[in-house]
Chain A
Amino acid sequence: MASDAASNAPSDARGLGAAVGDSIADLGTMIVELIAGLGDFTLFFGQTLAWLFRRVPSRQLVVTSLYQIGVRSLPVVALTGTFIGMVLAVQSYNQFERFGMENRLGVMINLSMYRELGPVLAATMLAGRVGSAIAAEIGTMRVTEQIDALASMGASPIQHLVVPRLLACFLMIPALTLMAIFMGVAGGAFYCVHVFGVDPYFYFANAQESTGVWDLFYGVTKSVFFGVAIAVISCYRGFHSAAGAEGVGRAATIAFVQAFVVILALDLMLSISLDSLYQLIWPGEVAIG
């Protein structure tokens, strides 16, 4: 037994060394693939921007995208906005009531909706409803050679497939965000005033005093970045879809997950940047009323 163990020791050591070597190699491959992927994505985004200014896309394509992406997302965004506003009221009422501040609930609800929940909610719904659909549609076009067909006819797939969707997301997400904000504010107000019995005069007066155009600008500005990210990530995933139903399904899932993560990361960076901008324009003032 002892001699067996001794004879196995060098091979175990070699095995361990090989395993560590393999792990390092795998890590290296992962990093290289990540950098290559980022480079590829950047090129894709650059080509999209170039095509955006090189040639005006067909009006029919843009109108169809505006309808699919904007108009058809409106009901779901409005509905989720309303519920989020009401949920905010339910979750916050007890805390505010304890300090006798229920009249200021509107400040919290409205600021949350204007600055965070409105844009993030609209973007999340758009990523889920539209981003996945874009990735699946373009992925199917890739698998069924429709993208090759476009290219073989001397048409740019980016100009025909990506630019209209980017424009639609860019133009429609501010409208969807405004809808989410409006419905959230209305939902929160309805619940506070009609269910919790908060005095409507003080509720609305406090809310109006503490929220302003800057807060609206804050939310809408964020949403524009989110819209661009959703469109480009979803189209990129569709263009790089693997073959078959599984490949297209994976592209749709990855498009949503990546868009969602990017939305959250962008949210943080934009919040920091916009607060810094506020301080630059109005030094010494507090951004949140």
Chain B
Amino acid sequence: MSASTPPSAPDPAVVSSMLDVRRVSVRFGEQAVLRDLTLSVPRGETLVIIGESGCGKTVLLKSLIGLVKPTQGVVSFCGRPLAGLTDRELTAARTRYGFVFQNAALFDSLSVAENVAFPLIEHRRATREAAYQAAIERLHEVGLPTSVMTKKPAQLSGGMRKRVGLARALVMEPEVLLYDEPTTGLDPIMSDVINELILRTREGRKGVTSVVVTHDMHSARKLADRIIMLYPVSRLLRGEPQIVYDGPPEGIDASNDQRVTQFVRGEARDRLEELSLSVAAD
């Protein structure tokens, strides 16, 4: 692919994987968060990334859209490295993503309608009426009534905020959807509502590629075509891969890796001893 090819014109025959991560490492100062990660997400797949808190799931998710720049390695979208894109190309590429943030990240100063319509007004130069009409459709899709349009994010419950965040991510009809812990902080019923909405949006949009970061195993099993589990770099030995599981959701329970079974079953095991040791060493 030549450098002048716009990111909006990939050749599906040539580019089978939507997202590619090649030998990516991310460090913040002395702290290594991701180490030599390689993975690929084919078009239309729903990849779920699991792992304990602080293992780098969100950093990996943000690096897929260029919000975090890798210290080493290459992240590619439709076969084009994000680092090699100009500002204009990166902007064009990002309009093909939808990102659902952990706490929705709605703009406090804008109403729900303005939040959802924001990308349309920003990029498509849509009229306010047309953008609001599209916003209403997306809000209905996630089960929110028209009456929430004029509310400010602060007036919404946690579940409603997440759904508005999902509506905003869907409004540009993205090809890639990135979800950062979409069910965290919600009650089990609302968590399942969010899961069902994610499944429904996927069914309604054939070919959409999804990457979901979660540590909720119920969500992971329900949503995933494939699961990868990350392990914190600080707990790895030199040369050990950071991805400790990469496979279908039905295979994760049968994994022989103690680290995987510990996470899947939610067992503290050695961590309690570590806590005692760290208190003793204090």
Contact = CB atoms under 8 A, between A and B. Distances in A.
Interface of A: 64, 140-141, 144-146, 148-156
A144 B103 contact: yes
B105 A148 contact: yes
A58 to B, nearest CB: 8
B107 A146 contact: yes
Contact of A151 (B67, B102, B107, B178): B67
A254 to B, nearest CB: 20
Given A144-B105, A149-B105, 11 more contacts: A140-B108, A146-B106, A148-B101, A151-B94, A152-B94, A153-B95, A153-B99, A154-B90, A154-B92, A154-B119, A154-B123
A155 B110 CA distance: 15
A148 B122 CA distance: 16
B103 A145 contact: yes
Given A146-B107, A148-B67, A153 B122 contact: yes
Contacts of B172: 153
Contacts of A146: 105-108
Nearest to A145: B105
A145 B59 CA distance: 13
B105 A153 contact: no
Contacts of B262: none
Given A145-B103, A148-B62, A155 B122 contact: yes
A153 B102 CA distance: 16
B77 interface: no
Task: Please list the 9 inter-chain residue pairs (A to B) with the smallest Cβ-Cβ separation, ordered nearest first.
Answer: A154-B94, A149-B105, A152-B99, A145-B105, A154-B91, A153-B119, A154-B95, A145-B101, A155-B122
Nearest to B65: A152
A211 B91 CA distance: 53
Nearest to B118: A153
A143 to B, nearest CB: 10
Interface in B156-178: 172, 178
A64 B107 CA distance: 15
B38 to A, nearest CB: 23
Given A153-B122, A154-B119, A155-B122, A145 B65 contact: no
17 contacts: A141-B107, A144-B103, A144-B105, A145-B101, A145-B105, A146-B105, A148-B67, A152-B178, A153-B94, A153-B95, A153-B118, A153-B119, A153-B123, A154-B90, A154-B94, A154-B123, A155-B122
A60 to B, nearest CB: 9
A152 B108 contact: no
B179 interface: no
B3 to A, nearest CB: 20
Contacts of A154: 90-95, 119, 122-123
Interface string B76-112: 0000000000000011111101010111011111000
B99 A149 contact: yes
Interface string B222-258: 0000000000000000000000000000000000000
A37 to B, nearest CB: 15
Nearest to A140: B108
B93 to A, nearest CB: 8
A149 B107 contact: yes
A151 B178 CA distance: 14
A170 B101 CA distance: 34
A154 B67 CA distance: 11
B97 to A, nearest CB: 7
Nearest to A149: B105
Interface in B43-98: 62, 65, 67, 90-95, 97
A133 to B, nearest CB: 13
